[in-house]
A = this chain, B = another copy of it.
Amino acid sequence: MKSKKELILETALDLFAKKGFNATSTSKIAKAAGVSEGLIFRHFSNKDGLLQSILDLGKERSVKLFEGISELELPADKLKYILQIPFNIPYTEYAFWKLLYAIKWQADKYDEEISNQLKSIVIDIFNQLNYPNPELEAEFVMMLFDGMATAVLLKDSNESEEIEKLLLQKYNIPI
């Protein structure tokens, strides 16, 4: 059975992703979760603390999405795997990724950890592939990654599979 703490976290993530952090009041969260408003502050101190807990949990889960990378041998396979991540975000994780990308634009709340983590993996890959400028090349991949993730998350696109194919093809990666 779900604890009330978990219920608050889930409900808040849901509302934050849908309406935005600032447009979602703690009273609305409490009402939607069916708990008293005071309990939110008992568990998370304040609204920012609630957001941080949501982000931390999401990060833990997203690490698992990245774990598949290290199991691959060839750097080209690793790159392919990474480029495919935006198209393989589990539907249950949409809310978290939406929140993550929406928060990017709020200077004070933005958390670069996930992005930086992935970027250093990509730099390693381009090093292994002997690219002349691995750092720059990684920056470019991250840009692609964000563009794709945005497209997937915002339009519930029916053609995301075709875009995925097009991307791999443009990156000279066999499908």
Contact = CB atoms under 8 A, between A and B. Distances in A.
Interface string A123-161: 000000000010011011011111110110010000100
A139 B159 contact: yes
Contacts of A101: 105
B146 A150 contact: yes
A11 to B, nearest CB: 18
Contact of A137 (B104, B148, B166): B166
A162 interface: yes
A20 B22 contact: yes
By size class, the interface of chain A is: 20 to 34
Contacts of A140: 163, 166-167, 170
Contacts of A18: 107
Contact of A136 (B133, B146, B154, B162): B162
Interface of A: 18-20, 22-23, 98, 101-102, 104-107, 133, 136-137, 139-140, 142-148, 150-151, 154, 159, 162-163, 166-167, 170-171
21 contacts: A18-B107, A20-B20, A20-B22, A20-B105, A20-B106, A22-B23, A102-B106, A104-B154, A136-B159, A136-B162, A136-B163, A139-B151, A140-B167, A143-B147, A143-B148, A143-B151, A144-B144, A145-B147, A146-B147, A146-B150, A170-B170
